[in-house]
Amino acid sequence: MDSADSADRYVPDSVRQAVKVLIVGAFGVGKTTLVGSVSEIEPLRTEETVTGAAVGVDALAGVEDKRTTTVAMDFGRLTLNDRLVMYLFGAPGQRRYWGMWDGLAEGALGVLAVVDTRRLAESFEVLAELELRGLPFVVAVNRFPDSEDHPVAELRGALDLTGDTPVVTFDARDRASSIDALITLVQSISGGATGPAGTEGTDHPDEAARGPVAYAPRQGERLPAER
Amino acid sequence: MTGNGGYRDSALRPYVITGGKFRPSRAALGVETLLLRAETAGPLPVTATRESRALVRMCERLLSLAEAAAHLKLPLSLVKVLASELVDAGYLVARSGIPQAARPDMELLQEVLDGLRRLR
């Protein structure tokens, strides 16, 4: 609309709501590739501050200063319709960065946990931590060109997943395949009520039965400061 | 995580820029919160920092907090603090994401699904 060359960086004016999905995984599993495949903007990089209090193994015993480190994070954007955009945030899976998951996961639809079958062991603690934190997640197994094809049941066993955690295989370099992984995540969050192949993802047994109407009163709360 | 992805000690500068405030004055802003300059707001006070001015300028049109931070090359946590203050003071308007601690409603999830399927 504007002739300014930075104009296309902006979100369409009609957009009223943003949702986000977290992409986590061990180093090098394809988080950045996935964000790059599906983002409609050139993926952006920003820094988040990680404070010393929650850094686990990196914490220096006895050192009490307010030490902070920063970690780079890649993210991208998808316009879902003229009023709704989705952001994908790639968050590092190393233990020392778990502290930043909380802030990022707040208000997120869910988490896509990207896994590389050639290095399954590196994903164990990431998945265990996601389970521990009770974040809704789907395991997305990135098919690398030189990775063997493992049946999903086999992977589920190898990853020691609880019974209802969905596992999907995908190719992070492929846009449609990556979007399919996101679709599986959203289906799983909605407890299968919005499509096939979902698993029960709710703590409230009667939730699926209530359907969309039960949530209608909450509509007004979505946009606390809309102008 | 390549390039600038390494460690950097950056505790001091953000502290100075935010006038000594460590946390957002209200926690409602997320990295995905959409920000827009408030049409009705007057000019920023003369005491406003360069970073606050840059943020308001960046949000001349709709942009998420994370995008604004990336374009301004400022840390997310710093931009969160600045944006919270600017929203509180009426210079920025926030179009939020899902209300904190509330489950996304089915209608929204269906909308997300439909959008994703269209993009496939």
Q: Which of A38, A47, A189 shows the shortest C-beta gap to B76?
A: A47
Nearest to B52 by CA among B82, B13, B15: B82
- Its ipTM equals 0.79
Q: Is residue A3 part of a domain?
A: no
Q: How many domains are contained in chain A?
A: 1
Q: Mean of the pLDDT values across residues B84-109?
A: 81
Residue A34 near residue A72, CB atoms below 8 Å:
no
The pLDDT score that the predictor gives to residue A219 is 37
Nearest to B109 by CA among A156, A144, A195: A195
Question: Closest residue of B to A72, CA-based?
Answer: B5
Determine the Cα–Cα distance for residues A205 and A27; give it in Å rounded to an integer: 37
pLDDT band at A155 (very low <50, low <70, confident <90, very high): confident
CA distance A179 to chain B (A): 6
Determine the length of chain A: 227
Q: What is the mean pLDDT of chain B?
A: 82
Tell the burial category of B107 from Cβ atoms under 10 Å away from its Cβ (0-12, 13-18, 19+): middle
Q: Mean of the pLDDT values across residues A99-118?
A: 88
Interchain proximity B75–A49, CB inside 8 Å: yes
pLDDT band at B59 (very low <50, low <70, confident <90, very high): very high
Contacts of B9 in chain A (CB under 8 A): 67-69
- What percent of chain A shows pLDDT beyond 70? 72
The pLDDT score that the predictor gives to residue A181 is 97
Q: Is residue A92 part of a domain?
A: yes
CA distance A75 to chain B (A): 8
Q: Which of A70, A189, A226 shows the shortest C-beta gap to B75?
A: A70
Provide the 3-class DSSP secondary structure of residue B7: coil
Q: Is residue A207 part of a domain?
A: no
Provide the 3-class DSSP secondary structure of residue A191: coil
Lowest pLDDT segment from A5-9, B37-41, B66-70: A5-9
Q: Which of B30, B104, B111 shows the shortest C-beta gap to A81?
A: B111
Chain B residues 31-70 with a CB less than 8 Å from chain A:
31-34, 36, 38-39, 61-64, 66-67, 69-70
Q: Is residue A201 part of a domain?
A: no
Which segment, A26-30, A69-73, A186-190, is predicted with the most confidence on average? A186-190
Q: Which of A18, A81, A211 shows the shortest C-beta gap to B32?
A: A18
Residue A37 is part of a domain; what is its CATH number? 3.40.50.300
Domain residues for the domain of A187 are: 13-195
The pLDDT score that the predictor gives to residue A137 is 95
Here the tokens at position A59 are 């914490």
Report DSSP state, residue A135.
-
pLDDT band at A101 (very low <50, low <70, confident <90, very high): confident
Contacts of B76 in chain A (CB under 8 A): 46-49, 73
Residue B71 near residue A42, CB atoms below 8 Å:
no
CA distance A214 to chain B (A): 9
The pLDDT score that the predictor gives to residue B13 is 57
Q: Is residue A178 part of a domain?
A: yes
Q: Is residue A154 part of a domain?
A: yes
Contacts of B117 in chain A (CB under 8 A): 183
Q: Is residue A211 part of a domain?
A: no
pLDDT at A223 over 80: no
pLDDT at A207 over 80: no
CA distance B117 to chain A (A): 8
Determine the length of chain B: 120
The pLDDT score that the predictor gives to residue A4 is 43
The pLDDT score that the predictor gives to residue A36 is 96
Nearest to A140 by CA among A117, A176, A167: A167
Here the tokens at position B103 are 């489950």
pLDDT digits (tens, 9 = 90+) for A39-48: 999 999 998 7
Q: Taking each helix axis from N to C terminus, what angle separates B65-72 and B76-88, rounded to the nearest 10 degrees? A: 120
Interchain proximity B99–A107, CB inside 8 Å: yes
Interchain proximity A224–B38, CB inside 8 Å: no
Tell the burial category of A130 from Cβ atoms under 10 Å away from its Cβ (0-12, 13-18, 19+): buried
DSSP string, A196-221: TT-----S-TTHHHH-GGGGGGGGGG
CA distance B62 to chain A (A): 5
